[in-house]
């Protein structure tokens, strides 16, 4: 069976380094925040070209705290994409604000910046794009839309560690960017983790205060706070794994190029599109096919595991029925949701594996025609 991801193969060569990191945290007794987290924060801020990185306990917390730190709340609107992991929208809802969805580009599946422009109202406070599958959203255009309308640009870069756009690292666009270190992300912890990066000194202080029960001085809580702190062991592991991120991403990029070669011209399979000027980290390699459920079953029978990111767009999730959106409101997002198929993608995938994936996909779509 060719797995969809293979985390064991990533960790196996780092085994002794990781065990050393675990014992370091155990001996140092710094289980929550502490020196390993601070060191990782400095390294990751430098990696994405920002002044500050605030380490948190998940990407979902990062998105929530970023919006919260700007005072976004009830009565406010935040424009985002319906074709994403649902946590993007949760962050808006946790603040009591309203998610306003814009359709996605037919090519990339990333938020359509011209629709964003058209959806701005006096209640709009921020734009929250997602660098879907690791491919940067049209961030330079969105920076202009945000500046023109006096809005915050908060980038959901939870899938885009190491991606670049026009030569700039993802994470350096907009007011802040949010990352997830969920184990299956390109830079993954051994548990939950996340971070907000920014150049704004005052905002970084505010994020650090909010993640730690809004404490200013011992036992002095200046507003309603959160327990969103990064664990010491996650900081230690992420600090080690960050050294390997570029080499893993370049292995993924070679694998992506190989998929393009193997699959080009295959009828019934639409290959992924990259944003102009974008250098994706290839977190996921997502093709589009008709009769997806049949293709998945058929590939599974041939020993190839696939996944779907994401089958139901956020505006059609039961949790968001109260927003009043209907099927047909975002035709491109809905078309993506019903046809997207994520092929096996991880740094150690072999050429032989990829040839098998391509053959099984060809047979599967042939059978579906
Ligand atoms: C993973 C992910 C999140 C949430 O991150 P967690 O660390 O799992 O909370 C948010 N948005 C996107 C686009 C993601 O891929």
Shared-domain flag, residues 252 and 219: no
pLDDT (mean) for 133-151: 98
pLDDT (mean) for 127-135: 98
pLDDT (mean) for 204-214: 98
- Categorize the per-residue pLDDT at 118 as very low, low, confident or very high, splitting at 50, 70 and 90: very high
The closest of 343, 345, 331 to 266, measured between CA atoms, is 343
Shared-domain flag, residues 114 and 186: yes
**Residue of 182, 231, 281 to test ligand 1 pocket, by largest number of atoms within 8 Å of CB:** 182
Shared-domain flag, residues 13 and 120: yes
Domain count for the chain, please give it.
2
338 within some domain? yes
- pLDDT for 69: 97
The closest of 343, 283, 255 to 59, measured between CA atoms, is 283
Shared-domain flag, residues 255 and 159: no
Q: Tens digit of pLDDT for each residue in 297-349?
A: 999 999 999 999 999 999 999 999 999 999 999 999 999 999 999 999 999 99
Q: Which residues line ligand 1 (CB under 6 A)?
A: 58-60, 84-85, 87-88, 130, 156, 158-159, 180, 182, 192, 194
Q: Under the phi-then-psi rule, with left for phi > 0, alpha for psi from -120 to 50, and beta for the rest, what region is 314?
A: alpha
Q: Tens digit of pLDDT for each residue in 243-294?
A: 999 999 999 999 999 999 999 999 999 999 999 999 999 999 999 999 999 9
CA 37 to chain centre: 21
Shared-domain flag, residues 48 and 128: yes
Shared-domain flag, residues 102 and 208: yes
Does residue 62 sit in helix, strand or coil? helix
- Categorize the per-residue pLDDT at 369 as very low, low, confident or very high, splitting at 50, 70 and 90: very low
- pLDDT for 25: 97
The domain spanning residue 235 has which CATH number?
Answer: 3.40.640.10
Q: Which atom of ligand 1 is nearest to the CA of 130?
A: 13
Backbone angles phi, psi at 342, to 5 degrees: -90, 120
77 within some domain? yes
Give dist(CA 162, CA 281) in Å, integer: 6
Q: Which atom of ligand 1 is nearest to the CA of 131?
A: 13
The closest of 195, 183, 177 to 237, measured between CA atoms, is 183
The token duo for 256 is: 């992506």
Shared-domain flag, residues 217 and 266: no
The domain spanning residue 303 has which CATH number?
Answer: 3.90.1150.10
- 10 Å Cβ neighbour count for 92? 25
Shared-domain flag, residues 256 and 213: no
261 within some domain? yes
120 within some domain? yes
Shared-domain flag, residues 238 and 249: no
Q: Are 114 and 70 a contacting pair, CB within 8 Å?
A: no
1 within some domain? no
pLDDT (mean) for 351-362: 98
Shared-domain flag, residues 227 and 263: no
Give dist(CA 113, CA 102) in Å, integer: 8
Q: Which atom of ligand 1 is nearest to the CA of 192?
A: 7
Q: How far is CA 186 from CA 119, 238, 284, 289, 347, in A?
A: 32, 11, 9, 25, 9
Shared-domain flag, residues 238 and 254: no
Average pLDDT, the chain: 97
Last residue of a domain, one of 194, 213, 242: 242
pLDDT (mean) for 116-138: 98
Last residue of a domain, one of 242, 269, 289: 242
Shared-domain flag, residues 156 and 235: yes
Q: Under the phi-then-psi rule, with left for phi > 0, alpha for psi from -120 to 50, and beta for the rest, what region is 96?
A: left
Last residue of a domain, one of 209, 242, 275: 242
| DSSP assigned state of 325 | -
Dihedral sign from CA coordinates of 80, 170, 208, 234: positive
Question: How many angstroms does the Cα of residue 185 sit away from the middle of ligand 1?
Answer: 9
Give dist(CA 136, CA 119) in Å, integer: 21
**Beta strand pairing call for 285-288 and 98-101:** unpaired
Q: Containing domain of residue 39, as a range?
A: 7-242
189 within some domain? yes
- pLDDT for 367: 60
Q: Are 230 and 56 a contacting pair, CB within 8 Å?
A: yes
351-368 and 292-301 helices cross at what angle (nearest 10)?
A: 130
Q: Which atom of ligand 1 is nearest to the CA of 194?
A: 7
235 within some domain? yes
Q: Tens digit of pLDDT for each residue in 156-169?
A: 999 999 999 999 99
2 within some domain? no
Q: Tens digit of pLDDT for each residue in 35-77?
A: 999 999 999 999 999 999 999 999 999 999 999 999 999 999 9
The closest of 299, 286, 287, 285 to 255, measured between CA atoms, is 285
């Amino acid at each position: 069976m060719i797995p969809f991801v293979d985390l064991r193969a990533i960790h196996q060569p780092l085994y002794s380094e990781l065990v050393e990191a675990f014992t370091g945290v155990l001996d140092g007794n710094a289980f929550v925040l502490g020196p390993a987290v601070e060191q990782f924060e400095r390294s990751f801020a430098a990696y994405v070209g920002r002044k500050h990185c605030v380490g948190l306990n998940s990407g979902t917390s990062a998105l929530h705290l970023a919006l919260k730190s700007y005072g976004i709340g009830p009565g406010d609107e935040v424009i985002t994409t319906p074709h994403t992991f649902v946590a993007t929208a949760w962050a808006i809802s946790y603040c009591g604000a309203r998610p306003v969805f814009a359709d996605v580009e037919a090519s990339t599946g990333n938020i359509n910046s011209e629709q964003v422009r058209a959806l701005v109202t006096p209640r709009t406070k921020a734009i929250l794009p997602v660098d879907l599958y690791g491919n940067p959203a049209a961030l330079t255009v969105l920076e202009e839309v945000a500046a023109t309308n006096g809005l915050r640009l908060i980038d959901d870069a939870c899938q885009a560690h190491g991606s670049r756009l026009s030569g700039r690292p993802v994470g350096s666009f907009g007011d802040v960017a949010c990352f997830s270190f969920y184990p299956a992300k390109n830079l993954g912890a051994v548990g939950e983790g996340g971070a907000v990066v920014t150049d704004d000194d005052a905002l970084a202080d505010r994020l650090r205060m909010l993640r730690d029960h809004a404490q200013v001085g011992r036992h002095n809580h200046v507003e309603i706070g959160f327990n969103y702190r990064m664990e010491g062991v996650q900081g230690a592991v992420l600090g080690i794994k960050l050294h390997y991120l570029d080499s893993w991403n370049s292995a993924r990029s070679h694998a992506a190029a190989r998929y393009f070669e193997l699959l080009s011209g295959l009828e019934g399979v639409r290959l992924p599109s990259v944003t102009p000027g974008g250098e994706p980290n290839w977190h996921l390699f997502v093709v589009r096919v008709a009769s997806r459920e049949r293709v998945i079953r058929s590939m599974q029978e041939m020993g190839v595991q696939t996944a779907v990111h994401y089958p139901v767009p956020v505006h059609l999730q039961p949790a968001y029925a109260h927003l009043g959106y209907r099927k047909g409101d975002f035709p491109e997002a809905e078309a993506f949701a019903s046809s997207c198929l994520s092929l096996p993608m991880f740094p150690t995938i072999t050429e032989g594996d990829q040839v098998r994936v391509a053959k099984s996909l060809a047979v599967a779509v042939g059978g579906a025609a």
